[in-house]
Amino acid sequence: MASAAHCSLQAKRLLLDPKFEGYKLSLEPLACYQLGLDAAVAEVQLRDDQYTLDHMRAFGMYNYLHLDSWYQDNVYYVDQFGRVMNLSVTLDTALQKPREVFRLPADLTTYDNRLCASLHFSSPTRVTLSDGTGRLYLIKSGKRGNSASEKWEIVFNEELGSPFIIAHSVSFVKSGTRSLAVLLLRVEKDELETKGSGFHITLEWVTIAEISKEGDHRYEILKRRVLQGKSVPHYAAIEPSGDGLMVVSHRPFKFMQSESDKLEETDDAKVLIEKKDPLYYWQQTEDDVTIIVHLPQDITKDDIKVCFSPDNICVTLKEQPPLMEGKLYSSVDHESCTWIIKEKKSLEISLIKKNEGSRWPELIVGDTRGEFIMDSSQCSEIAESLMHLTSEVMNPNPEKENPPCNAQELEECDAFLEDGASLCRFDGDTLKVTHTINLGSNQYLFSVVVNPKEMPCFCLRHDVDALLWQPHSDQPENMWEHIATFNALGYVQASKQDKKFMACAPDHSYAALCECLRRVFIYRQPTPLSTVLYNRKEGRQVGQVAKQLVATLEAHDPILGFQATNERLFVLTTKTLFLIKVNSGN
């Protein structure tokens, strides 16, 4: 079984600015427009049995405002009457009320255990919609954002089990068949778990295809595959071709497999267990190396052949293929090397080092079948050599040039809630992980659709900056491309204790975040100055400045949705939709 390729994210140096001086607070006014809603947003409060952090992340922090990336400045939400409402903006000074484009057939108020309604725009003419009760709708919408041509029509709907929200969906054509893949997110009770939260997370990957029979066009489910994990994914998206899936999560996900796959996996696990037993053990001093090999019962002295040379060793039993063979890490005095059999159970080989005092990190170059055993005196020696790096007293010598690291010197915003998140790419055919990246302390911040024909981008914190990455599933050599940098945003966002949502413009011209109530912070990319400005400390001219702007909404309801386009920010509260003009159109 082929193992996953361990990859890394390669930042582009040209997109980094090590001399960034920070954001300057700008008091320039921002045009802010507001529209009162005919009916409140269909917000679903968490129930008493939805008490975990995963429930809060998946449903409590859900973004109720949906941006249609195929049509600029086009947003949707679902109100308490089950109506899908649309606002399409062409001119800020001539805003019209949100209009109804679709009404859910079911009366949502009759369901006690439902989740929030969710939707995703799979293509310019296809929408996936969930009513929060466990039913999935596939809708043919026509050209959206235009009241004359937009008409939502259900072409498929089916009950798919327990309630879910839609995480992502794509529409594609394969072998001449129009298909659609949708990713469903659930938080389910885990009856077998006695420790932890008692819940697990499932991502169900459903593939639906259009079937044509005798002129009759209908949609059918082709595949249903389920991944299971222990934490809500930060990011989960299906590749545009429908061939793979990428997931960013704190804890790993894996496919729930069929019985035949489980048997195959068990056999692989047995092989791995067998390989774990070392073939040999070895020790070393400054002068020599000792190797111990356990022998089978029927092996005698005449069956053993050990060949020494200055740089190589070869051990053979009963004229079988060599048990050990290869180039030694360093040269030995081969004429002084010896071997003996101890108690008819093990073979002990002694190698005399030519270069006394040097330590070997490995015995045979490239051979990982052995295990190095360190004696207590060597452990004590290494511990003593590292003693200067640690101390039981906090900074015992302040005058020292390089004092020990003091964790208390770190600021609160330098700490991450979660370490060890990973990015995995799953193959849709083998259901195996093909690529994996350990994100470490590169904290996940948000995702954004830059090009609707590509996968959503994800933004990660790198040191103090925030770097935007574009996945390219069709480019194995450049699968994750660094396309933009938001200077110091990683540090700035960490200081916002009440932040709820983050977003950025698809053209990377600004990033924004909002708090739970009222306040919105906007961070523009550095732009050239029209006037001459000097740095008073250094006496040099400043060529460009990055501005921070703050908008305070005239509302006391909590913010439920937040989306960004190149020109505007859309902010949704329970009863009001706000538009903030950030950039003027070209």
Cβ neighbours, 10 Å, residue 250: 18
- Does residue 100 lie in a domain region? no
**How many angstroms separate the CA atoms of 163 and 131, rounded?**
9
Q: Which residue stretches of 219-277 are H helix?
A: 259-276
- Does residue 268 lie in a domain region? no
Average pLDDT across the chain, whole number: 86
CATH number at residue 352: 2.60.40.790
- Does residue 530 lie in a domain region? no
Beta bridge partners of residue 448, listed in sequence order: 457
Beta bridge partners of residue 225, listed in sequence order: 205
Q: pLDDT of 205-250, one tens digit each?
A: 999 998 887 777 789 999 999 999 999 999 999 999 999 999 999 9
**How many angstroms separate the CA atoms of 562 and 501, rounded?**
6
- Does residue 171 lie in a domain region? no
Of 5-9, 134-138, 147-151, 254-258, which has the strongest mean pLDDT? Answer: 134-138
- Does residue 431 lie in a domain region? no
Among residues 113, 155, 153, the alpha carbon closest in space to that of 132 is found at 113
- Does residue 346 lie in a domain region? yes
Residue pair 303/292 in contact by the 8 Å Cβ criterion: no
Confidence bin at 90 (pLDDT 50/70/90): confident
Domain housing 360: 280-368
What's the pTM value of the predicted model, to 2 decimals? 0.74
> What would the two tokens of residue 31 be?
């045009």
Q: Which residue stretches of 124-254 are H helix?
A: none
Cα-based distances in Å from 162 to 202, 221, 378, 484: 11, 17, 59, 39
Among residues 473, 432, 480, the alpha carbon closest in space to that of 8 is found at 480
Average pLDDT over residues 111-120: 90
Angle at 30 between CA 26 and CA 31, to 5 degrees: 170
Angle at 436 between CA 433 and CA 442, to 5 degrees: 145
> What would the two tokens of residue 578 be?
């706000």
- Does residue 354 lie in a domain region? yes
Q: pLDDT of 28-71, one tens digit each?
A: 889 999 999 999 999 999 999 888 999 999 999 999 999 999 99
- Does residue 554 lie in a domain region? no
Domain count, the chain: 1
Residue pair 119/86 in contact by the 8 Å Cβ criterion: no
